[in-house]
Amino acid sequence: MDYNCEEVTELLPLYFGGGLDAQGRAAVMAHLAGCKNCRIEAAAALKIVRACEEAFPEPDEAFARFEFPESKDAPEESTGAIETLTQAVEIVIDAFTITRKAVRLAQI
């Protein structure tokens, strides 16, 4: 996966914010190793990410505690085997979704 400068610039906030997978991080790092302009851009992006932590602080624990307007009964507990199978299916679905997004990103 090779990124051009415009793509790297778009990905830098994700890179510093922990939103890229290992392959994406490696591709960004490979580009930065060979591109001085993008290293300057990366330094700027890191500054903005850090400044945003101060400009947009985490809400405190008391903020937005959601209360359901009516009570809902919890569903019956499923058996352990069904729970495991359900989780396995979810992992496969999520892997497919991630792969599809990565293909789309590579096509940018």
Region 51-90 residues binding another protein, contact defined as CB under 8 A: 51-59, 63-64, 66-69, 72-75, 86-87, 90
Contact present, 21 and 15 (Cβ < 8 Å)? no
Q: Given candidates 1, 26, 44, 85, which one binds another protein under the rule CB under 8 A?
A: 44
Q: Given candidates 27, 28, 32, 45, which one binds another protein under the rule CB under 8 A?
A: 45
Q: Given candidates 9, 25, 30, 102, which one binds another protein under the rule CB under 8 A?
A: 9
Cα diameter, the chain: 58
Write the CA distances from 86 to 14, 40, 57, 80, integer angstroms.
30, 46, 37, 10
Does residue 5 bind another protein (CB under 8 A)? yes
